[in-house]
Amino acid sequence: MKLNYLLLDVFTRERLKGNQLAVVTKADGLLDGEMQAIAREFNLSETVFLLKPEGERNTSAVRIFTPHEELPFAGHPTIGAAVVLGLQRKASAVRMEEKVGLITALFDKADKRSGEARFALPRLPARIADLNDRLGIAQALGIEVDEIGCAGYLPAVFSAGVTFHLVPVRDAAVLRRITVNRAIWDKVFHHDHTSAYVFTLTPEEADNDLAARMFGMGVGEDPGTGSAAAALIGLLAEQAQLATGQADFVLRQGVEMGRPCRIALQFRKEDDVLVHGSIGGHAVIVGEGILDLGD
């Protein structure tokens, strides 16, 4: 069996930047275990498998695997899949069936190998729990207790399909010098994937409003995590100084890894209730090939 695949860099306009992604374009007939084995073979943070959709009005079914497990939802695979489908189908909108639900993405072509996609979150972020162990958090991140918190934001656990521990820190300098303490990590960040999304406001940076780093999920540090950014929308919306209206942010991630990503965030509230959230970004195809799985 031979399978075509594409390699993309996501949340970037530049090749060899952003977050890497493999997309297997015609994955029908693969068993779950085979998809997991292929994702382990690529050994990227995520691999996407495109299949025929169940609904005739939908563009594709999308399965998302890390090297270790399947995910119901992830942001940079969704953006990458939308760009591939938009380019292949010459479509300005694509409808994707993911485990978390149906996702409609709007697509703008940049050239024959790249474009931008934005999608409304299929599940709005929800607060799961508070994070009150400030000493434990500081020790896990290798920072001081008084460096936790930023502009009124406090640590909390949120999920928009995948659970993340959201940790605000004082400024970009603190974010830059985080050192992970694996000895106590799982004890401090104990919900689901034991993943921490550490973020701060960046008023001194002209090109973005927020900066973040993501640690965990079996990949060490991840350069661009759309599902974590989607969870962060929940915390941003809670603290937003508007009862009704729309807010837009640009978040940078991956700079400390040499893989800079830019993620667009948007949310809308009505009568102090979050009613809409979306994330978006660019993606560019950097390679393609054939998987040869034998007879």
Shared-domain flag, residues 15 and 47: yes
| Domain extent at residue 18 | 2-121+282-292
Shared-domain flag, residues 31 and 55: yes
User: What is the rounded distance in angstroms from the CA atom of residue 262 to the CA atom of residue 209?
Assistant: 11
User: What is the rounded distance in angstroms from the CA atom of residue 150 to the CA atom of residue 168?
Assistant: 6
User: What is the rounded distance in angstroms from the CA atom of residue 210 to the CA atom of residue 249?
Assistant: 7
Shared-domain flag, residues 111 and 130: no
Tell me 42's DSSP state.
H
Shared-domain flag, residues 108 and 133: no
**How confident is the model over 88-106, as a mean pLDDT?**
97
- Region of 219 (left: φ > 0; alpha: ψ -120 to 50; beta: rest) is alpha
Shared-domain flag, residues 135 and 268: yes
User: What is the rounded distance in angstroms from the CA atom of residue 53 to the CA atom of residue 56?
Assistant: 7
Q: Does the pLDDT value for residue 9 go beyond 80?
A: yes
Shared-domain flag, residues 78 and 201: no
Shared-domain flag, residues 107 and 197: no
Neighbours of 139 (CB within 10 A): 17
- Beta strands, E only, the chain: 2-10, 19-24, 47-51, 60-65, 70-71, 93-98, 101-111, 114-120, 126-130, 156-159, 163-168, 196-201, 210-215, 221-222, 245-253, 261-270, 273-292
pLDDT tens-digit profile of 199-210? 999 999 999 999
Shared-domain flag, residues 150 and 65: no
Residue 192 confidence (pLDDT): 87
Shared-domain flag, residues 100 and 152: no
Q: Does the pLDDT value for residue 285 go beyond 90?
A: yes
Do the strands 245-253 and 210-215 form a parallel or antiparallel pair, or are they unpaired? parallel
Q: Catalytic residue positions? A: 46
Shared-domain flag, residues 191 and 201: yes
- Write down the mean pLDDT value for the chain: 96
User: What is the rounded distance in angstroms from the CA atom of residue 131 to the CA atom of residue 149?
Assistant: 11
Tell me the pLDDT band of 216, cut-offs 50, 70 and 90.
confident
Shared-domain flag, residues 145 and 116: no
Residue 112 confidence (pLDDT): 97
18-22, 72-76, 261-265: which has the minimum mean pLDDT?
72-76
| pTM score over 0.85 | yes
Shared-domain flag, residues 24 and 60: yes
Burial of 192 (0-12, 13-18, 19+ CB in 10 A): middle
Number of domains in the chain: 2
CATH of the domain at 53: 3.10.310.10
Shortest CA distance to 148 belongs to which of 159, 135, 130?
A: 135
